[in-house]
Amino acid sequence: MTDTETPRDHPGGSPLADVPTMRPRPMGAPRPAPSRPAGQDVVVDCAVYVEGRRQARLAPEDAFQVASSQGGFVWLGLYEPTEEELTSISAQYRLHPLAVEDAVYAHQRPKLEHYDDEALFMVLKTARYVEHEELTSTSEVVDTGEVMIFLGRNYVITVRHGDHQGLADLRSRMEEQRDLLCLGPSAVLYAVADLVVDTFVEVTDAVIEDVEELETSVFSPQRTDDIGRLYQLKRELMSLRKAVAPLEVPLQRLAERQFDIVPDSMRSYFRDVQDHALRVREQVAGLEELLTSILQASLARTTLADNEDVRKISAYAGIIAVPTAIAGIYGMNFEFMPELGWRYSYFVVLAVIVTACVLLYRGFKRNGWL
């Protein structure tokens, strides 16, 4: 259901009543298999918050009813759910089937969907800096994942994909900030977005060190081959840019547009996250431009080094040509040639060869060819 369609009634009655079904999976499309570690439950945590206080942990099927009846909200955290697992939960929380499909298959661009007056769906790309001893042409520098957030009046569901930082620490910090939790589910959306953007800042700072290392290597006196490493880092920066750049529009909508389920008091929070995201995007763009300049400088140095090698080879070939030419001339088997019968001709020819080679060497040296 989109913004132009008639809103659904508030969840009530049978949890399976009037629940739209997911789009059929195309023929031949692989069914997503859970990639969770053995023993990892799909439900990471499920808690009801009333007036900023956490209540006793409940099962997901009971938490929504309790939160609705007590005027609070439920925060349900999921980790890489399968289609069947998320479809079962979507029936209880009346999640839109298109959003459910996106959350199952993942690999989405950062976006914000407003399906009706009662539900938002946001996709955030997460990033993690991969530690490495030395940057190579195959090094993985930035690893990306995804966090999907379903937001309603009495619930917020976070779906995490990828081996990245969990949200347990974030939940603990928020439970110590009752004033923020009292603002409702949108406070959780803000906190998750803020955590993701802060992680972008950390990843960007780490990548800057790699860029500085490459810059030092390219402009070092030693001759190095850094083109492969430069291309690899540009490729990794592109992944980071794809995670950061699309966030501007969703965060701007949350900061400026009126959503019924997002209180006005939350707009300034989202505006702050938007400012941080814009700053990270500018940093990434600056790093890409710097890498392009370094790559051009590396190519120029490589070309210059090749030209120097060609000049050296040409200079030595010119020097070697002198004795080759003289030896070739006097190696001809003619009977009547000058100086063949002279007693000192051999020593004179050697002196001429040495003198010519020395003069050529000094000339090439003076002109910078050697």
Does one domain contain both 219 and 330? Answer: no
- 3-state per-residue secondary structure call for the chain: CCCCCCCCCCCCCCCCCCCCCCCCCCCCCCCCCCCCCCCCCCEEEEEEEECCEECCCCCHHHHHHHHHHHCCEEEEEEECCCHHHHHHHHHHHCCCHHHHHHHHHCCCCCEEEEEECCEEEEEEEEEEECCCCCCCCCCCCEEEEEEEEEEECCEEEEEEECCCCCCHHHHHHHHCCHHHHCCCHHHHHHHHHHHHHHHHHHHHHHHHHHHHHHHHHHCCCCCCCCHHHHHHHHHHHHHHHHHHHHHHHHHHHHHHCCCCCCCHHHHHHHHHHHHHHHHHHHHHHHHHHHHHHHHHHHHHHHHHHHHHHHHHHHHHHHHHHHHHHHHHHHCCCCCCCCCCCCCCHHHHHHHHHHHHHHHHHHHHHHCCCC
Q: Has residue 135 been placed in a domain?
A: yes
Whether pTM exceeds 0.95: no
What is the structure's pLDDT at 26? 44
Q: Has residue 94 been placed in a domain?
A: yes
Does one domain contain both 128 and 242? Answer: yes
Task: Find the domain containing 340 and state its range.
Answer: 308-366
For the domain that residue 342 is a member of, what is the CATH number? 1.20.58
Does one domain contain both 201 and 75? Answer: yes
For the domain that residue 100 is a member of, what is the CATH number? 3.30.460.20
Q: Has residue 33 been placed in a domain?
A: no
- Rounded to whole angstroms, the Cα distance separating 39 from 42 reads 10
Does one domain contain both 258 and 360? Answer: no
Does one domain contain both 237 and 320? Answer: no
Does one domain contain both 245 and 332? Answer: no
Strands (E), 42-170: 43-50, 53-54, 73-79, 111-116, 119-129, 142-152, 155-161
Domain end marker among 286, 302, 318:
302
Does one domain contain both 266 and 343? Answer: no
**CA-wise closest residue to 173 among 156, 187, 154:** 187
What is the structure's pLDDT at 198? 93
Does one domain contain both 298 and 312? Answer: no
Domain end marker among 274, 302, 330:
302
DSSP-derived pairing of the beta strands 73-79 and 43-50: antiparallel
Does one domain contain both 259 and 321? Answer: no
Q: How many domains does the chain have?
A: 2
Kindly state the tokens that stand for 258. Answer: 């009126």
Domain end marker among 282, 302, 322:
302
Q: Has residue 95 been placed in a domain?
A: yes
Does one domain contain both 348 and 285? Answer: no
Q: Has residue 355 been placed in a domain?
A: yes
| 3-class secondary-structure state, position 113 | strand
What is the structure's pLDDT at 155? 92
Does one domain contain both 293 and 214? Answer: yes
Does one domain contain both 146 and 233? Answer: yes
- Rounded to whole angstroms, the Cα distance separating 159 from 106 reads 10
Q: What is the pLDDT of residues 117-157, one digit of tens each?
A: 778 999 999 998 888 877 877 888 888 889 999 999 899 99
- Rounded to whole angstroms, the Cα distance separating 234 from 240 reads 10
Kindly state the tokens that stand for 173. Answer: 């910090």
Q: Has residue 31 been placed in a domain?
A: no
What is the structure's pLDDT at 365? 84
Q: Has residue 17 been placed in a domain?
A: no
Q: Has residue 23 been placed in a domain?
A: no
Point out the residues of the chain with pLDDT beneath 70.
1-40, 334, 336, 339
Q: What is the pLDDT of residues 228-248, one digit of tens each?
A: 888 888 888 998 999 999 999
